[in-house]
Amino acid sequence: MTHHPDDSPDYGQPAGAPDGPAPWSGAPVPAPRYGQYVHGQASADPRGAQRGGHDGAAQRRRRPRRVGGMPVTWTLIGICVVMWGLQWLTSLFTPYSLTSILGYAPSLTDTQPWRMLTSGFVHAMPSPLHLLLNMYTLYLFGRMLEPLLGTWRMAVLFVVSVLGGSVGVLLLGNPWVLVIGASGGVFGLFGAMFVFMRHFKNNITPIAVLIAINLAFGFLVGGIAWQAHVGGLIAGAVVALAMLPGLRRRF
């Protein structure tokens, strides 16, 4: 047992002595258990320093904090899936279209700037392929990035990447063409992953190849807003660079 100087002294036996009969009672004295030490001495158990004392507290302070789960990723996926269901219901039972109401076109920036964000949560219809591809990619990269970043950083990264994708469309796209989908946010995750892998000196070839293939796909296949991909990629990389100092303090 460990005695603190403020503890009331035990007059029945010396402070720091093992529990059991006093050594002068004639009864056998039990051997000290591993991990049992007097205040100021090292523990006989190599794990004892982690259990108590100043050394254990220092190790706990130095140990990096680990963040588990991916609530932001699942929330984003849930929002997109629910919105896609609402797109179907609106088209079936009303004369309106959520795609037209929430999608973004550069010509609407001055009057309805909120579309730059809402466009990232609606997807093409009637096929679910657009939604499924984006959500699967969001899941894959969210499970890698969110435990590293934490919840609020993950949310900021995705939202800023969606806005960055809309800025790319604003600067490079057709002012009258409506753009929808979470691709800008997904490409922002690509950009952030590239920055983090390079910073932590991991092999960047796989992520570089993935980015190159997806960018080329946007340029070669019609009906894809490559401008949103480029804008989201750049925005995600910039946000990741800005987050690096905070990550160094956490780990």
Smallest CA-to-CA distance from 120 within 180, 79, 78, 74 is with 180
Asked about 54 being catalytic, the answer comes back as no
- Please calculate the CA angle 154-227-183 and round it to the nearest 5 degrees: 40
Asked about 183 being catalytic, the answer comes back as yes
pLDDT tens per residue across all 251 residues of the chain: 444 444 444 434 444 444 444 444 444 444 433 333 333 344 344 444 444 444 555 454 544 444 458 999 999 999 999 999 999 999 999 999 999 999 999 999 999 999 999 999 999 999 999 999 999 999 999 999 999 999 999 999 999 999 999 999 999 999 999 999 999 999 999 999 999 999 988 999 999 999 999 999 988 988 899 999 999 999 999 999 999 988 866 65
Q: How far apart are CA 111 and CA 177, in angstroms?
A: 16
Cβ within 8 Å of residue 232, ≥6 positions away: 161, 162, 164, 165, 168, 183, 184, 185, 186, 187, 188, 191
Report pTM.
Answer: 0.73
Q: Which of 43, 119, 166, 183 is catalytic?
A: 183
Cα 166 vs. chain centroid, distance in angstroms?
A: 22
